[in-house]
Structure 1
Amino acid sequence: MQVTLLGTGDTTGTPTPDCDCDTCREARAPGDATRRRMRERGIDATEGVERSRFSVHVRNERTGEALLIDASPDFRHQFLTHEVGLPDEALITHVHFDHLDGLGNAYRLFDDLPVHAANEVDPLTDESVADTIRSKYDYLDRVTVFDHAPFEPFETCGFEVTLVPVEHPPMLCYGVAVEDPETGAKLSLTGDTNYAIPDESRDALADADLLLADGLVPAHLCDHHPLGGDHHDGDGVPRTFGTKHMTREGALDLGDELDAVETRLVHVSHFYPADEAFAEPLAVDGERYEL
Structure 2
Amino acid sequence: MRVTLLGTGDTTGTPTVGCECDTCETARERGVERSRFSVHVENERRGESLLVDASPDFRHQFLTHETPLPDEVVVTHVHFDHLDGLGNAYRLLGDLPVHAADETDPETGESVAETVASKFDYLDQLDVRHETPFEPFEACGLRVTLVPVDHPPLLCYGLAIEDPETGAKLSLSGDTSYGIPDDSRAALADPDLLLADAIVPARLCEYHPLGGGHEDEEGVARTFGTKHMTTEGALALADDLRAAEVRLVHVSHFPTPEEAFGDPAAVDGERYVL
- For the aligned pair, the TM-score class normalised by the smaller chain equals over 0.9
Shift of 1:220: 0.2
Q: Percent identity?
A: 74
SS of corresponding position for 2:259: coil
Count residues in correspondence: 274
What is the TM-score with the length of structure 1 in the denominator? 0.94
Shift of 1:274: 1.6
Corresponding position of 1:246: 229
Shift of 1:277: 1.0
Specify the code of the residue in structure 2 equivalent to 1:118: A
Corresponding position of 1:111: 94
Corresponding position of 2:80: 97
Q: Is residue 172 of structure 1 aligned with residue 149 of structure 2?
A: no
- The separation in 1 between residues aligned to 2:178 and 2:36, in whole angstroms, is 21
Q: Is residue 5 of structure 1 aligned with residue 30 of structure 2?
A: no
SS of corresponding position for 1:120: coil
List structure 1 segments (4+ residues) > 2 angstroms apart after TM superposition. none
Corresponding position of 1:130: 113
- The separation in 1 between residues aligned to 2:184 and 2:259, in whole angstroms, is 30
Corresponding position of 2:47: 64
Query: Unaligned 5+ residue runs, structure 2?
Result: none
Specify the code of the residue in structure 2 equivalent to 1:249: E
Corresponding position of 1:234: 217
Specify the code of the residue in structure 1 equivalent to 2:17: P
Give the one of 178, 191, 203 matched to 2:186: 203
- The separation in 2 between residues aligned to 1:156 and 1:276, in whole angstroms, is 35
Q: Is residue 49 of structure 1 aligned with residue 4 of structure 2?
A: no
SS of corresponding position for 1:276: helix
- The separation in 1 between residues aligned to 2:247 and 2:94, in whole angstroms, is 34
- Deviation track 1:3-29 (CA, whole Å, cap 9, x = no partner) reads 000000000000000001000000001
Q: Is residue 18 of structure 1 aligned with residue 18 of structure 2?
A: yes
Task: After TM superposition, list the pairs within 5 Å mapping 1:141-290 onto structure 2.
Answer: 141-290=124-273
- Deviation track 1:106-136 (CA, whole Å, cap 9, x = no partner) reads 0011121110000000000001000000000
Specify the code of the residue in structure 1 equivalent to 2:250: H
Shift of 1:288: 0.1
